[in-house]
Amino acid sequence: TEETLVLVKPDGVARGLTGAILARIEAKGYALVDIKLVEPDRDVLEQHYAEHAGKPFYEPLVEFMMSGPSVAIRLAGNRVIEGFRSLAGTTDPTTAAPGTIRGDFGRDWGLKVQQNLVHGSDSPESAARELAIWF
Ligand code: ATP
């Protein structure tokens, strides 16, 4: 089995979509190992998004992630890293496939950062690193 970090980002929590997102995760059969509501400080976000430092969307992204609480989830299952990213859909919510979380619930709000509802780790190395930051 494998673990990943999933975040329901501030737009997902603010829009009341946490339950709908968790329902899809649970229906898929993944196991909730740990879950918490969290208001990350800048230090946590700078660690989490270190690979994006210097990019044009970096500062708006950090500000967005401090705009309200997120739900952090330690999620387990066979191939859960790949599987959750499939459930989430591609980064841009306008073109994410229907049937995915971003495709069904997200759209482009014309802001400096894509408010795309969720985050999921993209590799075993990222998952280990990110789980240590958030839990
Ligand atoms: P994916 O890996 O599926 O693309 P992700 O959430 O892991 O999704 P990253 O590339 O790690 O995406 O980017 C982190 C976050 O930064 C995105 O989820 C999104 O909120 C924002 N973001 C990424 N690229 C852009 C962009 N070009 N313009 C605006 N916001 C962006």
Query: pTM for this structure?
Result: 0.97
Residue 88: give the domain boundaries.
2-134
* Overall number of domains in the chain: 1
Question: What does the pLDDT read at residue 2?
Answer: 98
Question: What does the pLDDT read at residue 53?
Answer: 97
Please list the alpha-helical segments (H only) found in the chain: 10-14, 18-28, 42-48, 58-65, 80-88, 101-105, 124-134
Q: Would you say the CB of residue 57 lies under 6 angstroms from ligand 1?
A: yes
Question: What does the pLDDT read at residue 104?
Answer: 98
- Give the whole-angstrom CA distance, residue 122 versus residue 135: 17
Other Cβ atoms less than 10 A from the Cβ of 81: the count is 20
User: How would you write the pLDDT of the chain (135 residues) with one tens digit per residue?
Assistant: 999 999 999 999 999 999 999 999 999 999 999 999 999 999 999 999 999 999 999 999 999 999 999 999 999 999 999 999 999 999 999 999 999 999 999 999 999 999 999 999 999 999 999 999 999
Indicate which CATH number applies to the domain containing 33: 3.30.70.141
52 is catalytic: no
Secondary structure (3-state) at 124: helix
Q: Indicate which atom in ligand 1 lies nearest the CA of residue 120.
A: 7
